Every structure is written in structure tokens, then in C-alpha cells.
């Protein structure tokens, strides 16, 4: 999966990411998004404006599940 975010100085960056159910940060069966092996937390996702650039079908399905559970719509 490929994500993009914008730093506070306005510079855009693209990073490779994955979704894991096996990372220690997972709890109660909830997956986490990993960037360079580290979990991406929700405040960073929101404040840095992360967005999905490319994802396969299975990743999109899991992202929809994550978004639905936190109360957001995901197309």
C-alpha cells in the first residue's frame, strides 16, 4: 500500500505501508497500519493528512472496516 502525507511545512511525502493483525499494537482483533514497521497512530493520520494513494482489494476492504468502526465513511 502506498500512502501520502504532508508535513507541517507543506512538503508532501509518499511512504510504503502495510496492514497487520499480528503486530503487538493490535488489540481485540483490530488491525494496525504499519509504516516502516511502526504503527501509524490516528492523531498522526489526521494531523499530517495521510491519504491512500494505492492499495490492493484486501487492503481496501480492511481500511473500510477500520473507518467504519471509528465512524467515518470510506469510499
| pLDDT tens by residue, 5-39 | 999 899 999 999 999 988 888 877 788 899 999 99
Q: Tens digits of per-residue pLDDT, 31-53?
A: 889 999 999 988 888 899 999 99
In-domain check, residue 41: yes
Residues 6+ apart with CB under 8 A from 5: 12, 13, 15, 44, 48, 49, 50, 51
Q: What pLDDT does residue 26 have?
A: 81
In-domain check, residue 32: yes
Ordered alpha helix ranges (H), the chain: 42-47, 57-69
Instruction: Give the strands of the sheet with 38-39, arranged side by side.
Output: 38-39, 32-35, 12-20, 2-6, 51-54
In-domain check, residue 7: yes
In-domain check, residue 63: yes
pTM attached to this predicted model: 0.82
In-domain check, residue 74: no
The dihedrals phi and psi of 26, each to the nearest 5 degrees, come to -70, 140
Domain total in the chain:
1
In-domain check, residue 46: yes
Q: What pLDDT does residue 55 have?
A: 96
How much is the mean pLDDT over the chain?
A: 88
Give residue 56's domain range.
2-69
Query: 68: which 3 cell numbers?
Result: 467504519
Rounded percentage of the chain residues whose pLDDT exceeds 90: 55
Amino acid at each position: 500500500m502506498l500512502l501520502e502525507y504532508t508535513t507541517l511545512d507543506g512538503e508532501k511525502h509518499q511512504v510504503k505501508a502495510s496492514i497487520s493483525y499480528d503486530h503487538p499494537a493490535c488489540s481485540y482483533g483490530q488491525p494496525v497500519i504499519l509504516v516502516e514497521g511502526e504503527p501509524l497512530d490516528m492523531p498522526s493520520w489526521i494531523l499530517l493528512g495521510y491519504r491512500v494513494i494505492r492499495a490492493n482489494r484486501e487492503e481496501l476492504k480492511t481500511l473500510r472496516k477500520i473507518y467504519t468502526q471509528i465512524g467515518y465513511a470510506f469510499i
